[in-house]
Structure 1
Amino acid sequence: MSAIGQCLVAFVFGSVVGLLVQRSRFCNTAALRDAILFKTYRNTKALLVAMMILTLGFTLFLTFGEGNPMHFDVGLNTFAGLFIFGVGMVLAGACTVSTWVKTGEGNVGALWALLFTFVGMFLFSLVWSVNYWPPAPASMTGEPNLEAFQLGYSNAATLQEKFGIPAIVFGVIQTGVLVLIYRAIRRKEEAQAERHRKSQAAHKDMQAQPAE
């Protein structure tokens, strides 16, 4: 496919995904925040379904498709970056995806959050390139390096190359775990609904009793 064709496909795909996110009000932050703080799981279930589809699709591509799959190092810097990014999402009240959507809707606060996302990325790139903030890129070779807090490559493609087991096998296992989590959430929702129904029934019974 030509570069123009790839751009057109990316534009159409991005537009469709953006429309779905905007209409569904999907947000990664809400998927975790609402489940923990408010015990509501609408976005959490949507996130799990998306993860199932992406996991199966990605590992199918790794197993049967063509291209250059990404290899990335996992280390202490990964966990630190994820933690800082998560704190930023909570403070901003939205993930990066929903921040883009809210910016498109005219939300000024989301615009500032999006702007400083890029500012932070730029400043971090300067720190990395000037000071080689540890662990240094030289230590990120794909092999475990405990002195530099690097665990090496860690994804389905790496496991497929190392053990000869198709990546789709790991994808199916991960998807199975996600299905179990989804079913556990559904059972919890059903229990909540049952308690709510009983509470309403008891309240109606109390109101129906004649006053003495």
Structure 2
Amino acid sequence: MAEVAVSPKARTRPVKIKKNQIPYAASVLVVIVIAGIVLGAQNPKLGLMWVFGSALGFVLQKSRFCFTASLRDPVLTGSTSLTRAVLIGLAVATAGFAAVQYSAFLKNPAVIPGNINPVGLHTAIGAAMFGIGMVIAGGCASGTLMRMGEGFMQQWIVIVAFIGGSVWAAHDFGWWEKAMIHNAPTVWLPNVIGWPAAVFGQLALLGFLYWLADWYDRRKNKAL
């Protein structure tokens, strides 16, 4: 059997030993618990929000969840795992919001919870601007916050630009309201096509997109 030649540098290269991260994790957990107790003593809602926020951050970091990656990965790597995760999240949100809104609709059809806003050219412009910003920044809002916690300095610069852009948008919102949003139609699917078609039609569309993403992933991986 032929021997594989190994360079002297490879034989003498020191092996990096990973540091034990458990003490750091325990310290962070203690800080989180203490902060939760302090916030909960001031206001129970603050304590609850702190718990849910910490749990959500942990899940985001472990799952590497990012809306930008869900749209970028199919093009760059052919992977649609995050794309399918986003579609599942949208399906769960669709079912949940439909239940909440329909129960409110039965009580008072004139008052529907949720932000039902006008849709028009301003929606397309905003989506395009945000999409370009996400690609340049390398992450969406959730991905940026998650990577900030991991210590990526680029994302600390991104969050400053993110806040600056939000302030600028709030400053100019009055102009957009008068120029485009005010005259744009408000479309709420249950009013247009009815509750069954709106809810189950959206779930069917998300299911089809999930199947399409899964097929695309298997096709790309098979090609590789």
TM-score (structure 1 length as normaliser): 0.72
Match of 2:50 in 1: 11
Q: Which amino acid aligns with 1:165?
A: G
Aligned to 1:101: 146
Q: Which runs of 5+ in 1 are unaligned?
A: 197-212
2:178 maps to amino acid: A
Match of 2:82 in 1: 43
Deviations 1:31-67 (A, max 9, x none): 0011123211121111111111111111111112587
How many Å apart are 1:195 and its aligned residue?
Answer: 4.2
Distance in 1 (alpha carbons) for counterparts of 2:144 and 2:80: 20
Separation of aligned partners in 2, 1:103 and 1:126: 26
Paired residue secondary structure (1:47) = helix
Which residue is equivalent to 2:187? 154
Return the alpha-carbon distance in structure 2 between the equivalents of residues 107 and 195 of structure 1. Answer: 34
Partner of 1:208: none
CA contact (8 A) 2:74 2:80 kept: yes
Residue aligning to 1:165: 194
- 1:51-109, Cα deviation, whole Å (9 max, x unpaired): 11111111111112587322212121121111101100000111110100111122111
CA 1:126–1:117: 2 relative to 1, 3 Å? same
Residue 71 of structure 2: which of 20, 28, 32 is its match? 32
Aligned amino acid, residue 60 of structure 2: V
Deviation for aligned residue 1:121: 1.2
Structure 1 residues 163, 187: CA separation in 2 closer, same or farther (over 3 Å shift)?
A: closer
1:9–1:83 CA distance, 2 compared to 1 (3 A): same
Q: 1:50 to 1:182 in 2, by over 3 A?
A: same
Q: 1:177 aligns with which of 165, 182, 205?
A: 205
- Could you say which residue in structure 1 is the equivalent of 2:157? 112
Letter in 2 for 1:186: D
Secondary structure at 1:73's aligned position in 2? coil
Q: Trace 1:52-201 onto structure 2 (pairs within 5 A).
A: 52-65=91-104, 68-128=113-173, 132-136=174-178, 140=182, 145=183, 150=184, 152-155=185-188, 159-160=189-190, 162=191, 165-166=194-195, 169-196=197-224
Count of aligned residue pairs for this structure pair? 177
The CA distance in 2 between the partners of 1:8 and 1:137, in whole Å, is 42
Distance in structure 2 (CA, Å) of the matches to 1:184 and 1:127: 39
The answer to whether the Cα contact below 8 Å between 2:68 and 2:140 also exists between their aligned partners in 1 is yes
Q: Could you say what the CA RMSD is over the residues aligned between the two structures, in angstroms?
A: 2.6
CA distance, structure 1, for counterparts of residue 140 and residue 57 of structure 2: 14
Is there any run of 5+ residues in structure 2 with no aligned partner, and where? 1-41
Q: CA separation of 1:192/1:87 partners in 2, compared to 1, >3 Å: closer, same or farther?
A: closer
8 Å CA contact 1:77, 1:135 repeated in 2: no
Q: Percent identity?
A: 26
SS across alignment from 1:36: helix
**TM norm structure 2:** 0.69
Code of the aligned partner of 1:35: P
CA distance in 1, matches of 2:181, 2:91: 33
- Conservation of the 8 A alpha-carbon contact between 2:122 and 2:181: no
Instruction: Give SS of 1:13's match.
Output: helix
